[in-house]
Each structure stands twice: as C-alpha cells, then as structure tokens.
C-alpha cells in the first residue's frame, strides 16, 4: 500500500491497526468497476453553440449527422427532447454520459409553452426513479434523473431575458442550474465582466437558485481552495467551444480562426472553458448528490404528499398481487398434474410407452 496515511498507522503491523482505513480504496475500486452515470441537460436558444460546446467538453461527436432546420420549419416546431447516451472511458474509468438536448427551445414566436415539455421530462425521470425505488427488485435501478442543466445565455443581450428568468424560476427547484454565457468570443473583456455582473445581479433580484459550488473543506490543500475560489468568482462561465485544430504560436490548439486572431478554447485568458470543465469534473459527484438529496427528495415528498393514500395502497396491492400470483401458480400446477394423469390413463389404454411421463409435480 503506497498511500500515505496521515495518522500514525503507517506500519501495517502496528498494534491497534484494524485495516478499515483501506475502505476508501475498496470503494474506489468498486466504483471504477461499476462505472459512473451522469445526465446533463442543455437548454438554450438555437444557434448558441450548445452542441459544439458539448462536443468540445467531452471530446466526442454527439451529433454526427445533423440537419439544421430553416426558419420556416422552426415556426411549426415545438420543443423536442432528445437524449443521446455515450459511453466514454478514460484511464479505465467508464462514464455513461447522457446529454439531453432541447431543440426548439426559444424558437417560437410565442414561447409561453416552451418549457412545459422540459419540466415534464424532468418530472418524468424523477417519477420513474421513485417508482423503481419503491419497487420490489431494486438491484438495477437506472438513474436517468437530470443531474445538471447547463442553461445557455445569449451574449448578445444586456442580461437575462424574460424567457430566461421564467424558465430558471420554473426549474430551479428541480435541477441544478449552471448558467453559461455562450459564444463568449463576441465580448471584449470589459463587456464580459459587465455582463457577468449584470446577470448575477438579476439572478439575485429574481431569487433564482443556481447551483453553488460547495466551499472547499478546511483540510484541503491550498491549491484546491484557491481553485475553488477562482471557480466561484467566475460564475457564470463564459465559454467558447470548438473541436477544430488551429495552428497558433507554433502549436496546434483547439480554437476558432478569425482574420484578426485565433481564439483558443483552452486558454484561460480567452474564455472560461477550462474552468467549466474543471467544475464539471471535480463536482460531478456533488452535482449527483445535490440532485439526490435535495431535488429528488423535494420531488418525492411533494409527490407522496399529493398521492399519499395512493402509494400506500400500491404497496398493499403489490402484496396482494403476489399472493394472487402464487395462488394462480398453484392452481396451474394442479391443472397440469391432472392433465398428466389423464394422459397416462389414456396411454395405459394404448401403448404403454409413456413411462417417461412421471409425476413432475
């Protein structure tokens, strides 16, 4: 064991050493074997670079054959929910990532109903999990609950739009919202700061609860604390996405090539892409926990309060159903036995090579 134990149990043979300090390693190994699941929802108007950003974040191509509809087609469209799952692996750790896209959001001339579809999707996932959790066989519950929602804000406006406010208020109690300023290469540094501040002010003004990074614990090292502090100071993250490799300063970087310069995706001075990625990776576990402990529990208590009687009787029904099924099974077995007895009698009247037909019951 090469792990540095901060306490005095360095020598495994030290008296008093039980060995459960090895537990984290066991958990680690099991988790790695099991793999991780994460569901990320992206919401925002068309054309804000959502797909490009997701592809950049996870270095995959989630939308290989994409056809972008024209404006006339968009008039008729309602909001769709498209979930695509991809299994990515890095150094032996498997991640089953589901990206839930919401094309059509914000496109219509009248967007009054555009978040209903999204909210009912989120609720549906909670409902399904609740149902599975209360079921009899709980071994393979698949967690499709939305753990995090990246809400894309347009860099072209002066802050939040009425639609942004309405949507975020409708889902801030159901999912972790991470606001992201898209296409940040449109903004100069000063404009970016102004926009971020304005967005934060408006979020506070409207009492919108966005996801807050947990503070670093006091026993973490300084670097981590500093990193957390930097991350918190940069919310909302302003990002640029790209998977194209451009030659800049002698090396190949992912970026966007303009006549006036190259915007590097992974350059922290150009945009907050790295910060967003760090936040997502470092806090993936926390995002899942908050979803489980806060949003899901909220949903569950609301749901049970509402359909209180119903759920209890459901349990009773389940027992009843079980009993009924057992009774039916017994009846059927008796029937089979009777049929076999009948056949035997017939055979005895006939050839008599039915010796194989014994009593199975």
Task: Tell me how far apart the alpha carbons of residues 186 and 96 are, in angstroms, rounded to a whole number.
Answer: 33
**∠ CA 163-46-299, rounded to 5°:** 50
Residue where the block lists tokens 């978040």:
115
Q: What is the largest CA-CA distance in the chain?
A: 101
Residue from the set 12, 24, 214, 261 that interacts with another protein by CB under 8 A: 261
The reply on whether position 207 binds another protein by CB under 8 A is no
Residue from the set 185, 238, 239, 279 that interacts with another protein by CB under 8 A: 185
Residue from the set 216, 264, 275, 299 that interacts with another protein by CB under 8 A: 264
Residue where the block lists tokens 């017939």:
346
- Residue 166 CB, shortest distance to another protein, in Å, is 6
Three-state DSSP at 241 gives: coil
Residues 271-310 as x/- pattern, contact with another protein by CB under 8 A: ----------------------------------------
Say if residue 236 is preceded by a cis peptide, omega within 30 of 0: yes
The reply on whether position 46 binds another protein by CB under 8 A is yes
Stretch that binds another protein, among 41-49, 228-236, 275-283, 313-321 (CB under 8 A): 41-49
The reply on whether position 71 binds another protein by CB under 8 A is yes
Map the footprint of another protein across residues 129-158, applying CB under 8 A: 154-158
- Residue 253 CB, shortest distance to another protein, in Å, is 11
Task: Tell me how far apart the alpha carbons of residues 163 and 198 are, in angstroms, rounded to a whole number.
Answer: 16
The reply on whether position 68 binds another protein by CB under 8 A is yes
- Asked whether the beta carbons of 129 and 141 are under 8 A apart, the reply is yes
Task: Tell me how far apart the alpha carbons of residues 299 and 306 are, in angstroms, rounded to a whole number.
Answer: 10
Map the footprint of another protein across residues 238-257, applying CB under 8 A: 256-257
Nearest one of 41, 43, 107 to 69, comparing CA atoms: 107
Q: What residues pair up with 99 in beta bridges, in sequence order? A: 40, 84
Instruction: For helices 273-282 and 50-58, give the axis angle rounded to 10 degrees.
Output: 60
- Asked whether the beta carbons of 186 and 155 are under 8 A apart, the reply is yes
Residue from the set 42, 45, 168, 280 that interacts with another protein by CB under 8 A: 45
Q: Which is nearer to another protein, 51 or 228 (CB)?
A: 51
Two tokens, residue 348: 């005895």
Q: Which is nearer to another protein, 39 or 242 (CB)?
A: 242
Q: Which is nearer to another protein, 263 or 290 (CB)?
A: 263
Residue from the set 83, 130, 166, 347 that interacts with another protein by CB under 8 A: 166
Two tokens, residue 22: 């090895």
The reply on whether position 119 binds another protein by CB under 8 A is no
Site residues for another protein per CB under 8 A: 45-48, 68-72, 74-75, 107-112, 154-158, 161-163, 166, 183, 185-186, 188-189, 194, 201, 256-264, 269-270
């Amino acid at each position: 064991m090469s792990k540095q134990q901060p306490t005095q149990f360095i020598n495994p043979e030290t008296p008093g050493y039980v060995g459960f300090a090895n537990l984290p390693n066991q958990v680690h190994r099991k988790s790695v074997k099991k793999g991780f699941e994460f569901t990320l929802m992206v919401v925002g108007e068309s054309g804000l670079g959502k797909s490009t950003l997701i592809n950049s974040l996870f270095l995959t191509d989630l939308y290989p054959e994409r056809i972008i509809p024209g404006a006339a087609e968009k008039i008729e469209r309602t909001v769709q929910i498209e979930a695509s799952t991809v299994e990515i692996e890095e150094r032996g750790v498997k991640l089953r990532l589901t990206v839930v896209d919401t094309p059509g959001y914000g496109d219509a001339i009248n967007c009054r109903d555009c978040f209903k579809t999204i909210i009912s999707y989120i609720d549906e996932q909670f409902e399904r999990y609740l149902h599975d959790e209360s079921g009899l066989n709980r071994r393979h519950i698949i967690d499709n609950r939305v753990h995090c929602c990246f809400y894309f804000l347009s860099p072209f406006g002066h802050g939040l739009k009425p639609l942004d406010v309405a949507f975020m208020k409708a889902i801030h109690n159901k999912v972790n919202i991470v606001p992201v300023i898209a296409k940040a290469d449109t903004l100069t540094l000063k404009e970016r700061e102004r926009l971020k501040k304005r967005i934060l002010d408006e979020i506070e003004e409207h009492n919108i609860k966005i996801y807050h990074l947990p503070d670093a614990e006091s026993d973490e090292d300084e670097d981590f604390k500093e990193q957390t502090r930097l991350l918190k100071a940069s919310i909302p993250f302003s990002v640029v996405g790209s998977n194209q490799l451009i030659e800049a300063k002698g090396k190949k970087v992912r970026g966007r090539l303009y006549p006036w310069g190259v915007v590097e995706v992974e350059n922290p001075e150009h945009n907050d892409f790295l910060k967003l990625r760090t936040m997502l990776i470092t806090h993936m576990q926390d995002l899942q926990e908050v979803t489980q402990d806060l949003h899901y529990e909220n949903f569950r208590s609301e749901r049970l309060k509402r359909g209180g009687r119903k759920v209890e009787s459901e349990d009773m029904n389940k027992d009843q159903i079980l009993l009924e099924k057992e009774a039916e099974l017994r009846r059927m077995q008796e029937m089979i036995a009777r049929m076999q007895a009948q056949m035997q009698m017939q055979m005895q009247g006939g050839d008599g090579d039915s010796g194989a037909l014994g009593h199975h019951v």
